[in-house]
Amino acid sequence: MIDVKLSPSVRGLGGAGTVHHIAWRAKDEEELREWHKLVESKGFKPMELKDRNYFKALYFKEVGGILFEIATEPPEFAVDEAREELGTKLMLPSWFESKREEFEESLTPIEIK
């Protein structure tokens, strides 16, 4: 349970000392759809389920603007590379490939010892 004090003067913003978003895990897409129905029945306005390539996600906001996310565990990160290769190179979903160069330039190299 998360108890959020409602206040029209406090909004969910990015930055130190604030909460922008809180995420939970759903077992699978079926459970995610159950959450969608429950969230909607409680008066929230959830977005349609989003396919994020590595998981599917449900998003909704509370009155103060904090974003809640519930995401499936499957299919996990091994959908586009072998499990033993995970973490050895930057993998991006197709909709971010056009920004690959920009992302790679902003990363600090990791030295493995």
**Domain boundaries, position 54:** 21-106
> Is residue 9 in a domain?
no
Does residue 102 lie in a domain region? yes
Give me the CATH number covering residue 34: 3.10.180.10
Q: Is 12 helix (H, G, I), strand (E, B) or coil?
A: coil
**pLDDT tens per residue, range 84-113:** 988 888 888 888 999 999 999 999 887 777
First to last CA, the chain: 42
In a domain, 8, yes or no: no
Q: Is the pLDDT of residue 9 over 90?
A: no
For residue 10, is it within any domain?
Answer: no
User: 45-70: per-residue pLDDT in tens?
Assistant: 999 999 998 899 999 998 878 899 99
76 found inside a domain: yes
Pairwise CA distance, residues 44 & 48, whole Å: 12
Does some domain include residue 75?
A: yes
Q: Could you tell me the pTM of the whole model? A: 0.70
Residue 7 lies in a domain: no
Number of independent structural domains in the chain: 1
> Mean of the per-residue pLDDT values for the chain?
86
